[in-house]
Amino acid sequence: MTVAPEQTAQDPFWFRECFVMPMPIGRKATNLRELVETLRVVDEWVPYYHLFQYRLSLTYPGVEYPNEFAFWAANALQDNQLAEKLSSFDPFDFQNMVQVREALIDILDSYMWDLTYIPWARPGFEFDFCEASTAIIRSQIVAHTLPEFCQALQQVGLDSIYYHFFEARWRLGLREVDDFSFWIEYNFDCPEAVKQIRDIDLYFYSLREIRTELLKIIDQHLGDHCDQAG
Amino acid sequence: MIRLDDYVPIVGQAVVGQLYRLAEHLGPHRLVNINSTRTGGGVAEILSRVVPLLNQLGIETLWEVIEGDQLFFETTKAMHNALQGQKVHFSPEMLEHYEEINRTNAPKFNWQADLVIIHDPQPAFLIKEMRSQAKHWVWRCHIDISRPYRTIWKFLQKTVSQYDASVFSMPRFSQNLKHPQYIIYPSIDPLSEKNRELSPEEVQEVLDRLGIERDKPIILQVSRFDSFKDPLGVIQAFRLVRRHTPCKLLLVGGEATDDPEGPQIFAAVQEAAHGEPDIQILMLPSDSHYEVNAIQRAADIILQKSVREGFGLTVTEAMWKGKPVIGGAVGGIVLQLQDYYNGFLVHTPEGCAFRIRYLLHRPELGRRLGQVAREFVRDHFLITRTLRDYLTLMILVENPDSRMFEL
C-alpha cells in the first residue's frame, strides 16, 4: 500500500538529539574472571553502555559482533566459542537492566564453569569498564508528512537515529517498538512499512545503515516520493 | 580564517548543523582554556583550531597561556615523563617552584567564566588560587597516564581532586578519582596543512624537492627517532620483506630537540640502514606539515610499529589519507585499527614484515582497508567531534549526577 506524499500526520514527529559521553569508572578486566566479578558489582549503567551506548562512542566498521562483550571475547580473549554465545545474547529479552546483567553474568559464569583455565586478554586489550552520561535535546527538526520525515532523517545526526531506534525500546517498554514505526503506525495507514521497520535486525546494521534502510522502506511505500518534502 | 561551514563538504551538513543547534541550546557561555604554550605540541595545535571555531558557534572562548622560567619547564617536563611512567626524582624545591609559578600567574587572569579547562599538569595548580573565578573546573589530561610514577601522581592527585571533572584521551588513562571522568578522543583537523587534500602535482613537487623516487612501492613510517617507535624493528621488518618483494622504506622523523636519547637512536638507525640503497632516512624540521602530508599521500603502505604509544595520531592521519596502515598493537593504536577491517595490528618485526608482504601482493585489499579507515576517521576522529565533545562537556559538568537527562 502506498501513502500519499501530502498526507499529514495528526501528531508531528519531533526529532530529539542525544549527546553521549563515555565515563570510564577506573576499573579494568584482564581476564574473564575479572570481567564477571566486576560486572557483579558495578552500576547497571555499565552493562548498558557496553551493550548499547558504545555505538555512539566508537564503533568499528563491518564488525559483526553486536555488543562489546562479544567483541572483547573474540578480539581480546580470542575465544570464539564465548564470542558466539555472547553474540546471541539479546538484552531485549528482558524487562530491565537488573535482569539483563544477571543473564549476562549467568552466560559468563556457566561458560567458565566447564573451563579448566581462565582466558586472559592479549596485553593491551584489557576490558575498560565505562558508563556514560547522556544529554537529550529536543531539536527544532520536525516532520508532518512522510517526505518531511525522510528529509529530517537525512538532516539529523546519527545519535538521533540511536535515540529513536534503540533507546526508545527501553523508554516505551515495548521491546519490538521504536519511535519511528510507532509514529508511522499511529499516523499513517501503512502496516507493511511498520512491519518492515520492526523487522530490521538492529544488531547487524550500523546507525548509518539503519538510516539508509529506513529511507529505503519509506520510499518504497511513498512510491519513490521520499524526496518531495515541503 | 577557516569557517565552520568549510567542514560541511567533509563531514556533512548533519554534523555541522548539529553543532550549531547544540551551541544554541547551550546559550551564552564563557569558556576559558589554559595551557602552557601558544605554539608547538599537540595541545597548542588543537587549541589553535578549536578556540576560533567555538567562538564562531557563539561560545565566548578564551585561550590563556601561563608563563614560567627554565626551572618551571624543566620540572613540568619531568612531571610529564613521570606521569608516563618514568621514575624521576623531584626535589621539594622543584615542586615548590611549580606551585609558586602557578601562584604568580594567577593574578594575570581576571575574568569570570562558566567553565575553565586546564590542559595537562603545568597550569593545574591555578585552581587553588582561582577557584572562585569559574563555576566549573575541568582538568583535561592529554598524556598517557595509564601507569604514572606513583610519587608524582600522589602529588598531582591532591590538586586534580579539587576539580569538578577530569577528561582523558582513552578509558585506560582514567584514574581512581572521586569526581566524574570523561573521555574525549584526540582528533585531527582535515583542513590543516598536515591533512588537507593535495593535488598529484603538489605531492610530486615535494617528492622531487626531497629526492624521493617512486620507482618501487613506498613503505613509510613517520615518527620521532625514539625507541618506543621501534625504527630498528621497522628496518628489520623491511629487510625480511625485501628478501621476497621489491619495495623501498622511508623513515621520516623530526629533529630531536628535547630528547637526549634521540641522537643515539638516530645513529643506530643509520647504522642499521647502512648499505641498503632502498632505505631512505629523512630528517625534516618540526613544522614540515605540508611535506609530511605529501609523503604520506605518496606512500603505498604506512607503518606505525610502536612498542608504546599514547593515542597515535600519526595512525589517524595515515588512515585519513586512505592508506592501508600497519600498527603496533599498543596504546590507542588498538582502538583505531582492526585486523582485516581497516588495517592490521602486529606484535613483532616478523608480523610487520608478513603484513607488508600480504598488502604488497593484494593492493586491492589495501585500497579497501584504506577506504574503510578513512570513513572510520571521518566518523570518530575529526575536529568536529572534538567541538561536539566540548559543547557536551559544558552541559554535563552542570549535571554531574544524572546519567541521562532531557534539557
Mean pLDDT of A14-29: 94
* Domains of chain B and CATH, by start: 4-187+382-396 (3.40.50.2000), 200-380 (3.40.50.2000)
Q: In what order do the strands lie in the sheet with B134-140?
A: B60-65, B30-35, B113-119, B134-140, B165-168, B181-183
Which chain B residues are within 8 Å of A140, Cβ to Cβ?
Answer: 21
B181 touches chain A (CB under 8 A): yes
Of B15, B182, B185, the CB nearest to A23: B182
Of A124, A133, A155, the CB nearest to B403: A133
pLDDT digits (tens, 9 = 90+) for B74-116: 999 899 989 988 899 999 999 999 999 999 999 999 999 999 9
Q: Is the pLDDT of residue B397 over 80?
A: yes
- Average pLDDT over all residues of chain A: 91
Of A89, A39, A222, A212, the C-alpha closest to A147 is: A222
Choose, out of A46, A58, A206, the residue to mutate when testing the contact with B (most B CBs < 10 Å): A58
Give A 85-114 residues with CB within 8 A of chain B.
Answer: none
**Cell 562512542 appears where?**
A57
Task: Give CA A216 to chain center in angstroms.
Answer: 19
Q: Which tops the pLDDT comparison, A217 or A222?
A: A217
User: With bands split at pLDDT 50, 70 and 90, how would you rate the model's confidence at A63?
Assistant: low
Residue with more model confidence, A184 or B225: A184
Residue A41 in this model has a pLDDT that exceeds 80: yes
A131 touches chain B (CB under 8 A): yes
Asked whether the beta carbons of residue B403 and residue A21 sit closer than 8 angstroms, the reply is no
Assign B372 a pLDDT band (cuts: 50, 70, 90). very high
pLDDT over 60 at B25, yes or no: yes
Name the residue among A207, A212, A197 with its Cα closest to residue A52: A207
Contact B15 A155 (CB under 8 A): no
User: What cell was used for B145?
Assistant: 597516564
Confidence of residue B260 (pLDDT cuts 50, 70, 90): low
3-state secondary structure of B382: strand
Residues of A in contact with B399 (CB under 8 A): 133, 135
Give the mean model confidence (pLDDT) for residues B212-238.
94
Query: Which of helix, strand or coil describes residue B344?
Result: strand
Which residues, numbered 11 to 30 in chain B, qualify as contacts with chain A under a Cβ-Cβ cut-off of 8 Å?
A: 13-15, 17-18, 21-22, 25
Chain B CB within 8 Å of residue A178 CB: no
Q: Where are the alpha helices (DSSP H) in B286-329?
A: 289-298, 313-320
Tell me if B171 and A24 make a contact (CB, 8 A cut-off). yes
Range of lowest pLDDT (A35-39, B13-17, B345-349, B381-385): B13-17
Q: What is the ipTM of this complex?
A: 0.90
Given a contact cutoff of 8 angstroms between Cβ atoms, the answer to whether B359 and B220 are in contact is no
B396 at the A interface (CB within 8 A)? yes
State whether residue A38 sits within 8 Å of chain B by CB: no
Instruction: State the Cα–Cα distance between residues B354 and A30, nearest whole angstrom.
Output: 28
Q: Which amino acid is at B227?
A: S
CB A163 within 8 A of CB A18: yes
In terms of pLDDT, which residue wins out, B269 or A175?
A: B269
Question: What is this structure's pTM?
Answer: 0.92
Contact yes or no for B338 and A134 at CB 8 A: no
Instruction: Categorize the per-residue pLDDT at A100 as very low, low, confident or very high, splitting at 50, 70 and 90.
Output: very high
Cβ-defined contact of A133 to B180 (cutoff 8 Å)? yes
In chain A, what is the greatest distance between 2 CA atoms, to the nearest angstrom?
A: 65
The stretch A106-121 carries a mean pLDDT of: 95
Asked if residue A1 has pLDDT above 80, the reply is: no
Residues near A60 by beta carbon (within 8 Å), at least 6 away in sequence: A71, B338, B341, B342, B376
Please tell me if residue B401 touches chain A, with a CB cutoff of 8 Å. no
Residues of B numbered 219-238 whose beta carbons fall under 8 angstroms of chain A's beta carbons: which are they? Answer: none
pLDDT of residue B258: 54
| Contact list, B402 vs chain A (CB under 8 Å) | 133
Q: Which residue of B has its CA nearest to A154?
A: B14
Beta strand segments in chain A, E: 13-29, 127-143
Chain A residue whose CA is closest to B26: A137
- Residue B327 pLDDT class (50, 70, 90 cuts): very high
Question: Is some CB atom of chain B closer than 8 A to the CB atom of A142?
Answer: no
User: Chains A, B: CB contacts under 8 A, how many?
Assistant: 114
- Length of chain A in terms of residues written: 230
Residue B256 has pLDDT above 70, yes or no: no
Distance CA B168, CA B388 (A): 16
Asked if B175 is an interface residue toward chain A (Cβ–Cβ < 8 A), one would say: yes
- The runs of H, that is alpha helices, within B161-242 are 200-210, 231-242
How close is the nearest chain A Cα to the Cα of B350, in Å? 18
pLDDT at A225 over 90: no
Name the residue in chain B with its Cα closest to that of A125.
Answer: B334
Assess B349–A contact: CB distance below 8 Å, yes or no. no
Domains of chain A by residue range: 13-18+137-221, 21-131
Edge-to-edge strands, sheet with A13-29: A13-29, A127-143, B404-406
pLDDT at A230: 45
Residues 6+ apart with CB under 8 A from B315: B304, B325, B327, B332, B333, B336, B337, B343
- Tell me the average pLDDT of chain B: 94
Q: What's the gap in Å between the CA of B336 and the closest CA on chain A?
A: 9
